[in-house]
Amino acid sequence: MSLEIRAVASHREVREFIELPYRLHSTSPVWVPPLRIERRFSLSRKHNPFFTHGDARLFLARRDGRVVGRISAHVNASYDDVHGPGTGMFGFLEVEEDPEALERLLAAAAGWLAARGRTRMLGPMDFTMNDECGILVDGFDREPMVRQPWHPPYYGRLLDAAGLAKAMDLFMWELSIADRSNVHPVLFQLAEEAETKHGVTLRNMSRRTLRADLDRFAEVYNSAWAQNWDFVPYTPTDLDGYAWQLQTVFDADWFMVAERDGETVAVNISIPDINQVLKRMNGRLLPFGWVHYLRRQRIMDRVRVGFLGVKPEFQHTGVAAQLYIAQFNLAAHDRCTWGEMGWILETNTPMNRGMEAMGGRIVKRYRMYERAL
């Protein structure tokens, strides 16, 4: 059967690009269908802030006219500013268990990147490391939380067989945040000293202050994560888009800012898992998906701790423990009593030890791959 790889060039092909995972994973009991309208926005050059500093090309694989795979290739000027211009990325990877289709898709992405002077291909990421990223290699039986991809086991096997090398593993840690019995006692002491000894106080964000608080979040992120593998700073335009996205999942109780004498010290953004709602919506707002969204507070019982960061000069104050304990205290009377923390780099020893100290366990592992061009 003939296999064709072609760049997406029409609205119909964009729809086919979006629809492929709904067909591939429709029989999975754990895959969560994203909202189709959100997928369209994420690919839109008009609506996604990524395209103010990045460029991308989408490709489809067809076997005898039927779509069997997809991939993106993209470059990011913000990434280049930090790491140099040698790396290009691939993402949005979905494919049938078809080694030839995968290899041809990777070749198409690699060719587009090489034509733009790239010498290394890294991915998958949709379009950045703060979007869905990595290939699931452990934890296939667990539902993905918000902004987590899900893949069947053959994806990793196909990428390994195609000759891509592991670049980094990303961990998701499960925490029962209503159970204080597994928390190391020293964390409670550190949390108390953060306020009594170091003068750090916590407050919650609000919808009214969300955009301004995201500027404070960026202060923390752009300093606390600066030395991390594949770090890229947030730009004001990125934050504008992020504020818009967060409005649909915002919960003031779980969005926290730590301050001392008016200075932002640390930020925590934990997101109640909207994927529990999206699974019932089955990818659509209409005709009745919106009803599940309106009832979301009765549905969601877990959170994803997506960002918990402390400025380097305040990491001795115990403010991280203060934020952890604040979430344990909140879970004592909130519907959300457990969640997942991450992703956390496999090389981030302090954070991984911190998860162990709180009684956490690794429940998912995502792998980033790379290839020289």
CA atoms within 13 A on the CB side of 96: 13
User: 291-318 burial string, b = 16+ CB within 10 Å, else e?
Assistant: ebbeebeebbebbbbbbbbbbeebeebb
CATH of the domain at 329: 3.40.630.30
The overall pTM is greater than 0.85: yes
Cβ-based neighbour number of residue 132 at 10 Å: 21
The phi and psi torsions of 252 (rounded to 5 degrees) equal: -55, -30
15 and 143 inside one domain: yes
CA 190, distance to chain mean position in Å, is 29
Q: Residue 335's pLDDT is what?
A: 83
| Tens digit of pLDDT at every position of the chain (373 positions) | 799 999 999 999 999 999 999 999 999 999 999 989 999 999 999 999 999 999 999 999 999 999 999 999 999 999 999 999 999 999 999 999 999 999 999 999 999 999 999 999 999 999 999 899 999 999 999 999 999 999 999 999 999 999 999 999 999 999 887 767 778 888 899 999 999 999 999 999 999 999 999 999 999 999 988 888 889 999 899 999 989 888 888 999 999 999 999 999 999 999 999 989 888 888 777 666 777 777 787 888 899 988 889 999 999 999 999 998 998 888 888 888 888 998 999 999 988 998 888 889 999 999 999 999 9
CA angle 136, 137, 139 (to 5 degrees): 80
Q: Residue 203's pLDDT is what?
A: 96
Q: Residue 169's pLDDT is what?
A: 98
Does the residue 226 lie in any domain? yes
Q: Which domain holds residue 53?
A: 3-171
In angstroms, the CA 259 to CA 41 distance is 35
- The answer to whether the CB of 156 falls within 8 A of the CB of 367 is yes
Amino acid of residue 114: A
Amino acid of residue 195: E
| Burial class, 201, CB count within 10 angstroms (exposed 0-12 / middle 13-18 / buried 19+) | middle
Does the residue 371 lie in any domain? no
41 and 186 inside one domain: no
226 and 154 inside one domain: no
Does the residue 139 lie in any domain? yes
* CA torsion through residues 115, 121, 127, 130, sign: negative
DSSP per-residue letters across 100-129 = HHHHHHHHHHHHHHHTTT--EEEE-EESST
Does the residue 329 lie in any domain? yes
153 and 213 inside one domain: no
Q: Residue 286's pLDDT is what?
A: 66
In angstroms, the CA 107 to CA 125 distance is 17
Q: Residue 288's pLDDT is what?
A: 66
